[in-house]
Amino acid sequence: MRKLFKNCDVILADKVMKDGAVLVEDGKIAWLGTAEEALNLKAEEVVDCEGKFLSPGLIDVHCHGGGGGMFMTQDLEQHVNAMKAHMAHGVTSMTPTSIVNNAEEMKELVKIKKTIDSMENMPNHLGYFMEGPYNIPHPDMAVGSSELPVITEEKYAPIVEASEGTIKRWMAAPELEGALDFGRYIRRNGIIPCMGHSNATYNEVEAATKAGYSTVIHLYSVMSTVTRDKGFRRGGLVEAGLLIDDLDVELICDGCHLPPELINLAIKVKGYDKIMLVSDAIPLAGMGLEGEFEMMGMKLVIEDGVCKPPARNCFMGSIATGDRLVRTVHKTCGHPLWAAVRMASKTPARHLGYEGIKGEIVIGADADLITFDEDINIHQVFLKGRKAI
């Protein structure tokens, strides 16, 4: 089955190809070029993109839920609802963010992924991201234990074994006892070790990077920065994330968590190839809600486009979606549209091991495609060339 997408500006990894066309065959990109070059191509179906942008589908590697559903449960319906909510905003692949405490809970998540993989018109479930439980307690949120967790193989090895390879990324505060051995262990088992929710010093981050950690979770948020020790200043995880070339970093570009100057500083230092735009979305994302709510036993307030505790002294996750992330970087921060899309598609694809397969419009890649207008409003979503929305 050959399907020709035409009447579109095609977003490539380094430019926007005006008046372009893309040919899809058997779910993969088979050809791309200008509309004039496409005149002699034959296809069983033609998709008129109506002058809009044709973009690779977005990839969200850090998302807790949306549309009223959350990934931190063993409830299939909630997972499905959350994934569909984000697909409506341009996300065609994701690593749902969850947390488990034992092998039995992990087995339930494995069942959910297998079921979703068998369903039609669902975003690609690329494996789970475990954001914890090996975190430094959040100083502004009165939830959970105030004691520092100890990371032991006795706890995490059974979870890894039970995961059947479905854990793609796992976060830990690198300064915790056992964190370096944990990083080495999960790296050997094909899991990407990530750092976040941490008070680590620059030197501790350097040691963790040598132990296999390769990513900083939501840069600037809930992590150490410059401190003083007997008058001497020292860097933290923020500075390490910016300066250590081998580290990928996430940015929550919802227009609230970070001001343009911090987004632009990170992009200036790291470049488009080492930054991933993430939503860090809570279950209430994508619902257009405002006001007071309760979630997981916590009271919260949604206002000003972000989620806050009643004290309004910090943020409690975002209500962002993929289109909003791209819009912020392009419209508010002034970066080229292709660059904003790249950080939400090609870079996370490379990070997850899908370079050339997902996240970009190149010959041989999966035809996970979206169309949107000048204001980044999503109009159509295609999964391997088949229309999902």
pLDDT of 223-278, one tens digit each? 999 999 899 999 999 999 999 999 999 999 999 999 999 999 999 999 999 999 99
CATH code of the domain containing 294: 3.20.20.140
Q: Are 128 and 166 spatial neighbours (Cβ–Cβ below 8 Å)? A: yes
β-partners of residue 195 are 172, 216
Residue 376 is assigned to a structural domain of this protein? no
Average pLDDT over the chain, rounded to an integer: 96
DSSP classification of residue 137: P
Residue 380 is assigned to a structural domain of this protein? no
- Domain extent, residue 218, equals 57-356
Token pair in block for residue 355:
């370079």
Q: What is the reported pLDDT for 61?
A: 98
DSSP H helices in the chain: 76-87, 103-117, 153-162, 179-188, 202-210, 237-243, 260-270, 322-327, 337-343, 346-352
Token pair in block for residue 238:
């923020």
Token pair in block for residue 127:
């494996």
Least confident of 56-60, 136-140, 229-233, 379-383: 136-140
Residue 382 is assigned to a structural domain of this protein? no
pLDDT of 35-94, one tens digit each? 999 999 999 999 999 999 999 999 999 999 999 999 999 999 999 999 999 999 999 999
User: Domains in the chain: how many in total?
Assistant: 1
Residue 52 is assigned to a structural domain of this protein? no
Residue 374 is assigned to a structural domain of this protein? no
Residue 51 is assigned to a structural domain of this protein? no
Going by C-beta distance under 8 Å and a sequence separation of 6 or more, which residues neighbour residue 345? 55, 56, 57, 58, 59, 358, 359, 360
Residue 180 is assigned to a structural domain of this protein? yes
Cα–Cα distance measured from residue 3 to residue 26, given in angstroms and rounded to the nearest whole number: 9
Residue 36 is assigned to a structural domain of this protein? no
- Which residue has 């910090």 as its token pair? 314
Q: What is the reported pLDDT for 139?
A: 57
Q: What is the pTM for the complete model shown?
A: 0.96
pLDDT of 297-326, one tens digit each? 889 999 999 999 999 988 888 999 999 999
Q: For the residues of 254-320, what is the DSSP string, one character each?
A: SSSSS-HHHHHHHHHHH-TTSEEEE--B-TTTTS---EEEEETTEEEEEETTEEE-TT-SS---B--
pLDDT of 173-232, one tens digit each? 999 999 999 999 999 999 999 999 999 999 999 999 999 999 999 999 999 999 998 999
Q: What is the reported pLDDT for 317?
A: 83
